[in-house]
């Protein structure tokens, strides 16, 4: 058994724990068959979760988690209060089989410890393991906290949220992990058979991040370049090209998705990405404020949900009333469920206008809301829903 730290954005730790429980059954044992190991969550801390699992299962989290941003393999943890002892402990760890034959770039952090000189700690790391190699795909993390040194090896490489094409993006682009969180809240409590009756619509789709996260929520990532595939101790099965084809996953959510936007360039990216997915999709150029009522457009799916992250400051004027946008979405799409990302400024304007009634036309009322940061900016995800869904 090995210890892993599965990192995520602060305040998403509990949601990540739930996701790990959901995807745990997708992972395979060393014989290529479903495993029988239980998920052992040791501790939930700010910024992630520490778990204990067999090596081959912990590494597979990289294939499925949509909320994690990296998976660290714990190499060692020890108490140290002086630099000579730190040097000796690291020198001893140089023989660890996971650290053999690799060149690293180093990530050092120190807080609330007697050893708090990060530059000196880095110098000791380089003296023991060799000079830091810029742009190496192997990263060694050393963290000092409360005089405890924790040494970890990064199994993920590039941040796990980087899983969709970002050659073009708007200033309001939503990070993939946040988009996945919004989708999770959108579908929470619904059976997959119910979701198959839903067309999910994004009227300001951009490159399609929200819709892509919706259809890929329980699918494995397309990434192939994980650093752990180069480790000598990684089981050969995980390195085999056929292994990824054997992995199970849940059926794709939603019966259909529909992306609309006024920008041809971002729509081309969305169309290319959605075309690879198993869910039927429609990508159209459309200005929400010039669109006809959705009831006049044929749809083979009986239930319509809308999710969107409006491009504030890019296509919506500064004095724009968010209530106008909500009314237009209802006029065009008549959704039974609506999830929308709002800036804190727009949320306050909506609160002032609604006087906290939070009831929209067509029977939509506020079900819940969550606050988080996107690119350092405070935003909120509001979820409106009808009470008679699937009744």
Mean pLDDT of the chain: 89
Are 184 and 77 members of one domain?
no
List, for residues 304-319, the tens digit of each pLDDT value: 999 999 986 555 555 5
- Name the most confidently modeled range: 329-343, 357-371, 375-389: 329-343
Candidate from 14-18, 249-253, 273-277, 349-353 with smallest mean pLDDT: 349-353
pLDDT at 170 over 60: no
List, for residues 269-290, the tens digit of each pLDDT value: 999 999 999 899 999 999 888 8
Boundary residue ending a domain (154, 187, 204) = 154
Are 200 and 101 members of one domain?
no
Task: Please check whether residue 249 is in contact with residue 26, taking contact to mean a CB–CB distance below 8 angstroms.
Answer: yes
Does residue 167 lie within any of the structural domains? no
Task: Please check whether residue 151 is in contact with residue 106, taking contact to mean a CB–CB distance below 8 angstroms.
Answer: no
Are 148 and 201 members of one domain?
no
Are 20 and 124 members of one domain?
yes
Are 31 and 63 members of one domain?
yes
Domain count, the chain: 2
SS3 of 94, please?
coil
Are 62 and 193 members of one domain?
no
CATH number, domain with residue 148: 3.30.2130.30
Distance CA 130, CA 145 (A): 24
Residue 318: domain span: 176-218+253-386
Does residue 94 lie within any of the structural domains? yes
Does residue 231 lie within any of the structural domains? no
pLDDT at 221 over 70: yes
**Predicted pLDDT of residue 348:** 78
Are 133 and 187 members of one domain?
no
Distance CA 384, CA 140 (A): 44
Are 7 and 79 members of one domain?
yes
Distance CA 103, CA 224 (A): 20
Q: Would you place residue 51 in the very low, low, confident or very high pLDDT band (cuts 50, 70, 90)?
A: very high
161-195: burial string, b at 16+ Cβ within 10 Å, e else: bebbeeeeebebbbbbbbbbbbbbbbbeebeeeeb
Task: Please check whether residue 74 is in contact with residue 4, taking contact to mean a CB–CB distance below 8 angstroms.
Answer: yes
Does residue 296 lie within any of the structural domains? yes
The pTM is what? 0.91
Q: CA-CA-CA-CA torsion for 187, 191, 196, 199, nearest 10 degrees?
A: -30
Assigned token pair, 61: 């989290």
List, for residues 121-139, the tens digit of each pLDDT value: 999 999 999 999 988 999 9
**Predicted pLDDT of residue 391:** 57
List, for residues 232-261, the tens digit of each pLDDT value: 999 999 998 889 888 888 888 899 999 999
**Predicted pLDDT of residue 346:** 80
Does residue 232 lie within any of the structural domains? no
Residues 6+ apart with CB under 8 A from 89: 76, 78, 80, 149
Are 213 and 353 members of one domain?
yes
Task: Please check whether residue 200 is in contact with residue 214, taking contact to mean a CB–CB distance below 8 angstroms.
Answer: yes
**Predicted pLDDT of residue 176:** 95
Does residue 391 lie within any of the structural domains? no
Are 134 and 282 members of one domain?
no
Among candidates 377, 370, 198, 365, which has minimal Cα distance to 280?
198
List, for residues 177-205, the tens digit of each pLDDT value: 999 999 999 999 999 999 999 999 999 99
**Predicted pLDDT of residue 314:** 52
Q: Would you place residue 165 in the very low, low, confident or very high pLDDT band (cuts 50, 70, 90)?
A: low
Distance CA 245, CA 169 (A): 31
Are 144 and 87 members of one domain?
yes
Distance CA 63, CA 268 (A): 26
Distance CA 310, CA 174 (A): 10
Task: Please check whether residue 155 is in contact with residue 73, taking contact to mean a CB–CB distance below 8 angstroms.
Answer: yes
CATH number, domain with residue 376: 3.40.50.150
Residues 6+ apart with CB under 8 A from 364: 330, 335, 338, 384, 385, 386
- Percentage of the chain surpassing pLDDT 90? 71
């Amino acid at each position: 058994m090995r210890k892993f730290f599965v990192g995520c954005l602060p305040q998403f730790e509990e949601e990540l724990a739930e996701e790990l429980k959901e995807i745990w059954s997708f992972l395979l044992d060393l014989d290529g068959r479903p495993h029988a190991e239980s998920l052992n969550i040791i501790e939930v801390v700010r910024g992630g979760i520490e778990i204990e699992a067999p090596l081959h299962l912990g590494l597979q989290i990289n294939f499925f988690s949509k909320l994690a941003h990296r998976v660290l393999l714990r190499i060692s943890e020890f108490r140290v209060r002086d630099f000579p002892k730190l040097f000796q402990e690291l020198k001893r760890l140089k023989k660890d089989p996971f650290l053999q034959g690799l060149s690293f770039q180093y990530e050092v952090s120190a807080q609330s410890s007697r050893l708090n000189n990060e530059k000196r700690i880095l110098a000791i790391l380089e003296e023991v393991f060799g000079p830091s190699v810029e742009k190496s795909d192997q990263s060694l993390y050393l963290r000092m906290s409360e005089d405890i040194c924790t040494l970890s090896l990064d199994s993920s490489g590039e941040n796990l949220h980087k899983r969709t094409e970002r050659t073009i993006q708007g200033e309001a682009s939503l990070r993939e992990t946040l988009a996945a969180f919004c989708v999770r809240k959108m579908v929470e409590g619904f059976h997959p058979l119910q979701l198959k009756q839903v067309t999910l619509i994004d009227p300001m789709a951009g490159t399609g991040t929200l819709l892509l996260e919706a259809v890929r929520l329980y699918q494995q990532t397309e990434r192939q370049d994980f650093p752990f595939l180069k480790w000598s101790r990684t089981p050969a099965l995980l390195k085999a090209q056929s292994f990824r084809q054997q992995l199970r996953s849940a059926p794709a959510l939603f019966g259909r998705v529909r992306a609309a936007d006024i920008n041809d360039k971002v729509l081309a990216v969305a169309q290319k990405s959605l075309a690879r997915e198993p869910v039927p999709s429609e990508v159209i150029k459309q200005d929400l404020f010039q669109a006809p009522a959705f009831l006049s457009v044929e749809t083979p799916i009986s239930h319509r949900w809308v999710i969107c992250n409006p491009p504030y400051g890019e296509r919506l004027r500064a004095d724009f009333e968010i209530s106008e946008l909500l009314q237009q979405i209802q006029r065009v799409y008549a959704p039974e469920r609506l999830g929308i990302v709002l800036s804190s400024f727009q949320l306050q304007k909506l609160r002032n206008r609604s006087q906290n009634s939070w009831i929209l036309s067509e029977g939509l009322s506020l079900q819940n809301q969550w606050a988080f940061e996107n690119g350092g900016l405070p935003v909120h995800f509001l979820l409106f829903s009808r009470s008679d869904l699937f009744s």
